[in-house]
Structure 1
């Protein structure tokens, strides 16, 4: 994996509207919309690059990601978009696809949240992007590798997530999100630093990040 190439392939934004905080990620994939949609929604394909997903996968149904979040399927317009709750009723995930130039697909992921990021925690500001953004960065890389044919039959997404290479990728992802937060002017440096410590412990255990030297 070319870590910096993968980091730079994604456009990242943060915003706060009322009580809702959102992260928005955009990336171009080399594949037709239908191909990317199928990779995102077919359980047999999802387990190849993301994680096993079970449930009644239709509008009104629910899903469970093995070892991760569950949710309700609110809206679905194949092959353009779907919207689900993700881990709770005030955590909403929407994925949107559109045809790009040639045989490319323009991908957007928007995750909006209200309230504390975890029970008993502080109210969520845009620094909450550091809790979810690196995880979604990893998912977007997995999808890119799968669409490019770089995922073999013996590929294990869970094992890969704990590899030194992915931990190094996670550190660069956290750095990227910190830069986005600082540039946005939507939160304080103190809040960013506190959230970065939590993100590093979650995604890069045992690594200390120098927040004053991110370049």
Structure 2
């Protein structure tokens, strides 16, 4: 089946909830998408630096539990949990704020379900201005990029400077 953006967008299930973490109210964005890839293939696409750079950007660091990662011109953080090929949990440090991201992989028929949960304290004025986009737009773009990459893994990396 040919990859289409509208097909991808329709394949993502999204939810938003609230919870308390470290004594503060948090917004939790969850995005779920099933990919036509085995768990090990999706895991590798999500964790191998040479593959991450194709769909997210150049990534460096000590990519193991207790290590730190840095995504060029994006976020950095600590790798908190890693249970290959099922779960990875990281802190997500961006623009002086720290939040938490968990990615869970679940076998689903011939493919793999990916659930990304991003838990963040969103200032009320930011929430009033952007709503769910305050946490969600970046993950929408990341899931789209992963889907495009898995559909054509040999395609050259996109150059953000080349419209």
Report TM bin, short chain.
Answer: 0.7 to 0.9
> Shift of the alpha carbon at 1:150?
5.7
User: Distance in 2 between the 1:85 and 1:158 partners?
Assistant: 25
> Shift of the alpha carbon at 1:13?
0.2
Match of 1:108 in 2: 115
8 Å Cα contact 2:122/2:134 also seen in 1: no
Match of 2:99 in 1: 91
**Number of aligned residues:** 154
Q: CA RMSD in A?
A: 2.1
> Shift of the alpha carbon at 1:89?
6.8
8 Å Cα contact 1:83/1:95 also seen in 2: yes
Structure 1 stretches of 5 or more lacking a match? 164-215
TM-score by length of 1: 0.65
Structure 2 counterpart SS, 1:72: strand
Q: Which structure dedicates a bigger proportion of its chain to helix? A: 1
Question: Is 1:8 aligned with 2:16?
Answer: no
Q: Which structure dedicates a bigger proportion of its chain to strand? A: 2
Structure 2 counterpart SS, 1:94: strand
- Decide whether aligned partners of structure 1 residues 47 and 133 sit closer, same or farther in structure 2, where only a CA change above 3 A counts: same
TM-score by length of 2: 0.85
User: Distance in 1 between the 2:154 and 2:138 partners?
Assistant: 19
User: Distance in 2 between the 1:67 and 1:123 partners?
Assistant: 22
Match of 1:187 in 2: none
- Decide whether aligned partners of structure 1 residues 28 and 54 sit closer, same or farther in structure 2, where only a CA change above 3 A counts: same
